[in-house]
């Protein structure tokens, strides 16, 4: 979720101009600077974008794959500012290697900005996920999928499950570095709110990233999504958060609140006390892989600990 860092950096930059009126972005950004949302990308740049997204995926995104009996296709949902290949280039090959039909979706592209997904309104992104799930079900002949998300990829599927009929098509939903009630960004969100700067900064960021403020603490989007419960009946959940996550703070804001027997909230350090993977490193963590695999596959080893970092 690279744009969490972007929000924090931009907010600090704006704070340095708090006494200026009207509120403005720093001007020392280089001669000829063009804001990202106003840039025009060439056909060659878009072609390069497509080339990167379509490079070899090492056994996943195989639309001829047929799931083994009792094993659902696996859809992996990236975080904010990422894409299908960047976010899961460690996890996806590992799931393919143990026999999963795995698929990664790039969603939420906004203002024709290449490579950086997840920027659009998450309600729009959830509809893209819905279409992708149907595509996977049609291709594989399966009746249900499992979902594995990272960061924003823990929110978009919840919207899909709650509002777009996804609960009838998803059996299990795992997430790492999840966001449930929203990140306070190390206390920056309440600080900016107290200074009256939250809304002015939001107006600066919204033109290039509609979802950036949707993922923050107590956002109207998350309040509405969590109202009446943050899970759906019949779907099993496993959300893995890390005490070392400096982007989703407090880390417990990534835990589901419903009193649901199908919900498992896991603190990574309870699996391995010396595993200090943060928000991005979770995507490369073998302990996370083995824990999620155990959730999806009851025949896989169910006891996961520090030694699983070795394989």
Q: What is the pLDDT of residue 2?
A: 54
- For the stretch 227-237, pLDDT in tens is 999 999 999 99
Say how far apart CA 169 and CA 299 lie, in whole Å: 22
Beta bridge partners of 176: 150, 240
Closest CA to 65 of 144, 136, 140, 147: 140
Angle at 135 (CA atoms; ends 130, 136), nearest 5 degrees: 100
Say how far apart CA 258 and CA 233 lie, in whole Å: 11
Q: Across the chain, how many H-helices and E-strands are there?
A: 11, 6
- For the stretch 105-148, pLDDT in tens is 999 999 888 889 999 999 999 999 999 999 999 999 999 999 99
In the 8-state DSSP scheme, what is residue 25?
Answer: -
Do residues 110 and 208 touch, judged by C-beta distance below 8 A? yes
Mean pLDDT of the chain: 88
Sign of the Cα pseudo-torsion (179, 61, 84, 118, in order): negative
Average pLDDT over residues 233-253: 97
Q: What is the pLDDT of residue 155?
A: 98
DSSP letter for each residue of 64-108 = T--PPTT---EEEE--TT--HHHHTTTHHHHHHHTT--EEEE---
- For the stretch 147-175, pLDDT in tens is 999 999 999 999 999 999 999 999 999 99
Q: What is the pLDDT of residue 206?
A: 93
| H-helix segments, 206-254 | 220-226
- For the stretch 212-221, pLDDT in tens is 999 999 999 9
**3-state SS assignment for residue 11:** helix
Does an H or E element contain 162, and which? helix 156-163
DSSP letter for each residue of 146-160 = EEEEEGGGGTHHHHH
Average pLDDT over residues 258-285: 97
Do residues 94 and 71 touch, judged by C-beta distance below 8 A? no
Residue carrying structure tokens 């009630």: 181
CB neighbour class for 168 (10 Å; exposed up to 12, middle 13-18, buried from 19): exposed
- For the stretch 10-49, pLDDT in tens is 444 444 444 444 444 444 445 565 655 566 777 777 666 5
């Amino acid at each position: 979720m690279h744009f969490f860092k972007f929000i924090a950096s931009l907010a600090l930059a704006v704070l340095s101009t708090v006494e200026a009126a009207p509120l403005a972005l720093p001007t020392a950004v280089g001669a000829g600077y063009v804001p990202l949302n106003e840039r025009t990308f060439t056909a060659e740049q878009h072609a390069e974008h497509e080339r990167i997204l379509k490079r070899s995926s090492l056994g996943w995104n195989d639309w001829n794959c047929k799931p083994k009996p009792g094993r659902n296709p696996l859809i992996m949902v990236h975080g904010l500012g990422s894409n299908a290949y960047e976010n899961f280039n460690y996890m996806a090959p590992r799931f393919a290697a143990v026999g999963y039909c795995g698929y990664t979706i790039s969603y939420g592209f906004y203002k024709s900005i290449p490579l950086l997904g997840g920027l659009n309104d998450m309600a729009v992104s959830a509809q893209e996920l819905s279409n992708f799930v149907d595509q996977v079900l049609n291709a594989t002949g399966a009746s249900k999928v499992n979902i594995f998300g990272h960061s924003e990829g823990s929110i978009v599927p919840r919207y899909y499950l709650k509002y777009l009929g996804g609960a009838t098509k998803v059996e299990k939903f795992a997430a790492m570095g999840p966001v449930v009630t929203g990140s306070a960004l190390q206390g920056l969100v309440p600080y900016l709110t107290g200074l009256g700067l939250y809304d002015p900064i939001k107006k600066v960021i919204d033109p290039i990233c509609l979802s950036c403020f949707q993922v923050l603490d107590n956002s109207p989007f998350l309040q509405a999504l969590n109202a009446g419960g943050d899970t759906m009946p019949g779907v099993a959940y496993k959300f893995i958060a890390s005490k070392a996550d400096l982007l989703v703070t407090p880390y417990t804001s990534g835990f589901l609140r419903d009193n649901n027997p199908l919900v498992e909230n896991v603190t990574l350090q309870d699996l391995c006390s010396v595993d200090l993977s943060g928000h991005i490193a979770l995507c490369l963590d073998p302990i996370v892989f083995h824990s999620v695999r155990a959730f999806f596959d009851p025949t896989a080893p169910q006891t996961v600990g520090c030694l699983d970092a070795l394989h």
